[in-house]
Amino acid sequence: MTLLKTIFMGSDPIVLPLLEALVKRFSDQLDVIAVYTQPDRRSGRGMKLKAGPVKVLAQDLGLEVRQPECMNEDEYLWLREQGCELILVMAYGQILKQELLDLPSHAILNFHASILPSYRGASPLEGAISAGEKETGVTLMQIIRELDAGSILDVEKVAIEPDMQRDQLADKLAAACIPLLERNISSIAGKVLDFTPQDSERATFTRILTKDDSLLDFRFNASDLYNRICALAGWPGTAFEVNGDRIKAKEIRAVDGEGCPGEILSADKDGLTVACRKGALRFMQLQRPGGRMMSVGDFLRGYPLNVGQILDSSDIVPLVGNQPFPYRKRRKN
């Protein structure tokens, strides 16, 4: 069998197991000729250019790495010269134009981290956790110009366990890509693909996250806020405002409690408990602007918060909707 000349496109660490498997487990059917990933970004105190994890792994695997700021005519020409037959995409971070979709002679397929048609868009993991789902998965699908609306080849499902946070779910979904590809590699390499159209009437949509998504609205039920907290753990995290200061929080649980939304029910070495519309949230670690994350007991010695004090509630934007959200480029700061 002639190997399919394959391009892989991905940028988020969730793609690393899939990329490694393409080279180490599926090299008898796919010939990965290059990896496309986002350009190196400046980070750290010295703001030095740093390669992303996908680039590092691709180079370790001996693959050519290409990092255009956006796909352009030079890249399309290079792909045609290579005789590109198949493009596999996961969490690449760029909107793909029709010229690229038309380029591979066989197919362009995407690994999307939800059970489509639910949770189309930029943050499907966060959307599923915040909605309290018990199950999600990875969908192997065609890419078309409409947002995550292409026909489905196959799905690998995974459970969302209680208290599971975004990065933990990402690890499970990353691993789920391997059996999904293994189950379909023969039909992909043999160019015999049997797709099932999506039911667009059932579609839901997620959006690009922002730094302000960390803020809490205590006018919601504690259980709903806790799901959102688990979804946004890592970035943008969780925070609330006190007199204009944004206080970051970690180690949070939904607990029993009753009071006005935002009312501090307890504030001591055992934690900060704040009432929600129903139930309460208990915070075990807090960080003031310019400070470090510390236990609530240590935090309160330098930043008093008193029982009966009402914390501000911030209006929050839903993570999931029934229509596509307007596109906004995400900033991490």
pLDDT digits (tens, 9 = 90+) for 239-249: 999 999 999 99
What CA–CA distance (Å, rounded) separates 47 from 30?
38
What CA–CA distance (Å, rounded) separates 189 from 30?
7
What's the rounded mean pLDDT across residues 124-134?
Answer: 98
Residue 329 has pLDDT above 60, yes or no: no
**Is it true that the peptide bond before 53 is cis, omega within 30 degrees of 0?**
no
What CA–CA distance (Å, rounded) separates 189 from 2?
9
| The pLDDT of residue 332 | 41
Give the model's confidence band at 264: pLDDT under 50 very low, under 70 low, under 90 confident, else very high.
very high
What CA–CA distance (Å, rounded) separates 124 from 169?
11
| The pLDDT of residue 328 | 59
Residue 331 has pLDDT above 60, yes or no: no
Residue 333 has pLDDT above 60, yes or no: no
pLDDT digits (tens, 9 = 90+) for 182-221: 999 999 999 999 999 999 999 999 999 999 999 999 999 9
What CA–CA distance (Å, rounded) separates 141 from 8?
15
Give the model's confidence band at 31: pLDDT under 50 very low, under 70 low, under 90 confident, else very high.
very high
> Distances in Å between the alpha carbon of 49 and those of 3, 46, 56?
35, 9, 13
| The pLDDT of residue 30 | 97
What proportion of the chain, given as a percentage, has pLDDT over 90? Answer: 94
| The pLDDT of residue 1 | 62
AA letter at 29:
Q
pLDDT digits (tens, 9 = 90+) for 48-74: 899 999 999 999 999 999 999 999 999
CB 278 within 8 A of CB 287: no
DSSP state of 30: E
Measured distance between the N- and C-terminal CA atoms of the chain, rounded to whole angstroms: 49
Q: Is the pTM of this model over 0.85?
A: yes
Beta strands in the chain (DSSP E): 4-10, 30-36, 41-43, 48-50, 65-66, 86-90, 107-112, 135-142, 152-159, 205-206, 238-242, 245-255, 264-268, 271-275, 280-287, 294-295, 320-321
Residue 312 burial by Cβ neighbours in a 10 Å radius (0-12, 13-18, 19+)? middle
Give the model's confidence band at 327: pLDDT under 50 very low, under 70 low, under 90 confident, else very high.
low
Mean pLDDT of all residues belonging to the chain: 96
What proportion of the chain, given as a percentage, has pLDDT over 70? Answer: 98
CA geometry: angle 330, 66, 84, nearest 5 deg:
110
CB 47 within 8 A of CB 79: no
